Structure 1
């Protein structure tokens, strides 16, 4: 599970992936790649920028380039199909969409009561499943089929979803806020082993403590300390599995002040103790 800015790595020459995931939890992050999530079964909470929704079977969400987004399966059970691809595949290597913004990134049955909305959900779900089949089967010329379906999918999103023209002033304010948050997430990823406080992060964002705390939670879906501890536990888990370092050294290397706190936080997030991985 990566936080902050994710540089997508693909397992083929085609910058595209389409995979099923069960009960996905993923910290707030962003990338230039486009991401479409389709709920196959159950429910899952997803946050995109400052908006979050609990999505149910048949619902979708679309992340444009640079959108900060997270997945939270706490108290939920779900199977989702996650489609991620580089916008160069639809002729927009710098990011997509270009001159408009989606009014909302969420595509749900409750919101799409028009004929166009129903058509979008129906056809988009078909395309997503076909894209997964092409990706898995790897038949001759599958790259052409995948690229063609991605063009159709993105064309349908722009045709049928409410959009608004890019507002330079509004977009500038939004991008400024997102860049501030991106910088903070990068800061936490780089300095997680240090004693970072909420005050330190607020100073990094040049915001008041009160405003930053609310802004951080609305963007990431969790409190500052919970997000930081998630990063630390992820790093500690990697070290427990891949190094011979002692548990106390790992705890200190990952920013915990003592083993007792490390054990408590690790068990809170992983439901077992660090020593159980040894």
Structure 2
């Protein structure tokens, strides 16, 4: 699980990634690119901004530019396909969808049997599977076909998913709150090597402790302490694999006060002792 403001780097000049993932988990993060989630089978918990859902087979979700989102596949079985792309690829450099707002970022497959949403998820499944095949096999002119499939997928979402006109005042209000949380996530990533209290994090967000605690939990799916420990464990795992530092040095370097606390947190998030990586 990784955190923070993700600045995506694509493996080619084509700014799109199509990934199939098993039992995926990923800490709350945000980026300017659009992210589409299709559940091929099973179940996965997904949070987008301050809401969360249990997505099931056939469900589709859309993370627009700047949305804070996370994945929690713990204790669940799932196969998902992620389509992540820069919106300029389909002519929307300032974000997609540009002139309307999706009523909900989640399109549930089973909510409307035989209706427009079921038609959308069925069509999305075909298009996303084709996109995955094109990226995996890279046949001749796959990049041209990939962009065409993306246009068709985007058009299908806008045709069949409920949308509403953009309300500038509502957007400003929501945008302000999301910006505050994005700044907090960046702050935690930069400062996680030292103790950070709930009061300090709340000040960064310009919120009361009570309001911040509730907002942070609904946005990230976990408490501030758990979120910080997740970031610290990610950093510790990298140091264990790439350096010869002692476990004590690694624990202190990553913001833990002692080895015992470090070992306990590592077992909680990785299910094994940190020493098992060496």
Bucket of the pairwise TM-score, normalised by the shorter protein: over 0.9
Tell me which residue corresponds to 1:93.
93
Q: SS where residue 104 of structure 1 aligns?
A: coil
- How big is the shift at 1:140? 1.1
Q: SS where residue 112 of structure 1 aligns?
A: coil
Deviation digits for residues 240-270 of structure 1, max 9, x if unmatched? 0011111111100100001110011111111
* Partners of 1:242 and 1:153 in 2: CA distance: 41
* Partners of 1:115 and 1:204 in 2: CA distance: 45
Aligned CA RMSD, in angstroms, stands at: 1.0
* Partners of 2:114 and 2:196 in 1: CA distance: 49
* Partners of 1:110 and 1:8 in 2: CA distance: 33
* Partners of 2:101 and 2:114 in 1: CA distance: 20
* Partners of 2:93 and 2:105 in 1: CA distance: 20
* Alignment pair present for 1:200 and 2:200: yes
* Partners of 1:153 and 1:41 in 2: CA distance: 20
Number of aligned residue pairs: 278
Tell me which residue corresponds to 2:42.
42
Alignment gaps of 5+ in structure 1 = none
* Partners of 1:219 and 1:205 in 2: CA distance: 13
1:63-102 to 2 correspondence within 5 Å?
63-102=63-102
Q: SS where residue 159 of structure 1 aligns?
A: helix
Tell me which residue corresponds to 2:14.
14
* Alignment pair present for 1:187 and 2:184: no
1:193-272 to 2 correspondence within 5 Å?
193-272=193-272
Tell me which residue corresponds to 1:56.
56
- How big is the shift at 1:164? 1.2
1:155-194 to 2 correspondence within 5 Å?
155-194=155-194
Tell me which residue corresponds to 1:105.
105
Provide TM-score, normalisation by structure 1: 0.98
* Contact 2:18–2:84 (Cα < 8 Å) also in 1: yes
* Partners of 1:273 and 1:119 in 2: CA distance: 47
* Partners of 2:35 and 2:251 in 1: CA distance: 34
Deviation digits for residues 212-252 of structure 1, max 9, x if unmatched? 00000000011111011000000000000011111111100
* Partners of 1:154 and 1:19 in 2: CA distance: 18
Q: SS where residue 32 of structure 1 aligns?
A: coil
Q: SS where residue 81 of structure 1 aligns?
A: strand
* Partners of 2:121 and 2:151 in 1: CA distance: 16
- How big is the shift at 1:94? 2.0
Alignment gaps of 5+ in structure 2 = none
Q: SS where residue 66 of structure 1 aligns?
A: coil
Q: SS where residue 174 of structure 2 aligns?
A: helix
Provide TM-score, normalisation by structure 2: 0.98
- How big is the shift at 1:189? 0.2
* Partners of 2:89 and 2:5 in 1: CA distance: 21
* Partners of 2:167 and 2:113 in 1: CA distance: 27
Tell me which residue corresponds to 2:150.
150
- How big is the shift at 1:112? 3.4
* Contact 2:31–2:65 (Cα < 8 Å) also in 1: yes
